[in-house]
Chain A
Amino acid sequence: MNRSEREAAARRIMEQAPAPVPPDLYGEVVRRGNRALRRRRVVGRLLWLLLCAVAVAFTVWAVHAHPWVEPPSQTTPPITGW
């Protein structure tokens, strides 16, 4: 018995007696699928909201703190009267 014959025999064994698909399968699948879609949409919306909140918070902080301005020197006194 060569390889292809063995594979064909195994295929024949596996293909016998297929059962009918249960009639309520489609409804259950659509219910679950819609739930997953809804959940995914809610998670996406929450993440966008979080991103917007972080952006707003950063802007407010930057406007208040001016992180781009060089801080005044603590060691050298300012030179005056040259």
Chain B
Amino acid sequence: MRDRQASRDARRAREFEAFVAGAGGRLQHAATLLTAEAPDANPRARRLLTLALAHTYACWDRLRGEDPYDCARQYLATRFSRGTWHQYGAFGRARPHPRSPLAALAPQERLILVLRLYEGVAEEQAAALLGLPAERVHTICDRATATLLHPARTAAPRAMGGARVAPS
């Protein structure tokens, strides 16, 4: 019994180390994009990444053929979308860093843009993960793309309160 446990622990450690070595960089970049921090000063993104990977480590034996990267990504996204509400009012804590490429976007826009375009998650899957209708995800993704590509041009209509779809 004890031997089996030990060998299982060793196997898990080996597989998990390979997984972190392979997927850690990409997940960290996604987390840094989500929190809109500078690439070299990202304590919140690191914390998110650590929690997501620790969750994956704890679930490793129960994954049974599921993709561990998918598990970590799901935990990262749901944890971030829950966390934005708590940190909404904190002064300066959640403010986007100007060196982040997604600094001009709201947290939800960043989340959907990262899931859809950077990670390549399908629209329906992203919608199910976040508990939103698929059309809403589509609209937010379009708007966020437009804001990202033309920050100055879309700033004025967005301030007027119109939900603007990107020009085609």
* A interface residues (Cβ-Cβ under 8 A, vs B): 1-3, 6-7, 9-11, 13-22, 25-26, 28-30, 32-34, 36-37, 40
Give the CA-CA distance A21 to B16 in the complex, in Å. 16
Contact A18 B29 (CB under 8 A): yes
Contact A33 B57 (CB under 8 A): yes
Query: Given the complex, which residues of B lie within 8 Å of A36, measured CB to CB?
Result: 54-55, 57-58
Beyond A19-B40, A21-B28, A22-B46, is A30–B16 a contact (Cβ under 8 Å)? yes
Tally of contact residues, B, Cβ under 8 A: 36
**Contact with A7, one of B28, B29, B102, B117 (Cβ below 8 angstroms):** B117
* 22 chain-A/chain-B pairs, Cβ below 8 angstroms: A3-B168, A6-B166, A10-B113, A10-B145, A10-B149, A17-B39, A18-B28, A18-B29, A19-B28, A19-B29, A21-B24, A26-B17, A26-B24, A29-B20, A32-B54, A32-B57, A33-B53, A33-B57, A33-B58, A37-B57, A37-B58, A40-B58
Give the CA-CA distance A19 to B102 in the complex, in Å. 15
Q: A9-B149, A30-B54 are in contact. List 9 more A-B contacts (CB 8 A).
A: A6-B166, A14-B113, A15-B118, A18-B25, A19-B32, A25-B24, A25-B28, A30-B13, A36-B58
* B interface residues (Cβ-Cβ under 8 A, vs A): 13, 16-17, 20, 24-26, 28-29, 32-33, 39-40, 42, 46, 49-51, 53-58, 101-102, 113-114, 117-118, 145-146, 148-149, 166, 168
Contact B50 A28 (CB under 8 A): yes
The 4 A-B residue pairs whose C-beta atoms are closest, nearest first, are A33-B57, A32-B54, A19-B39, A36-B58
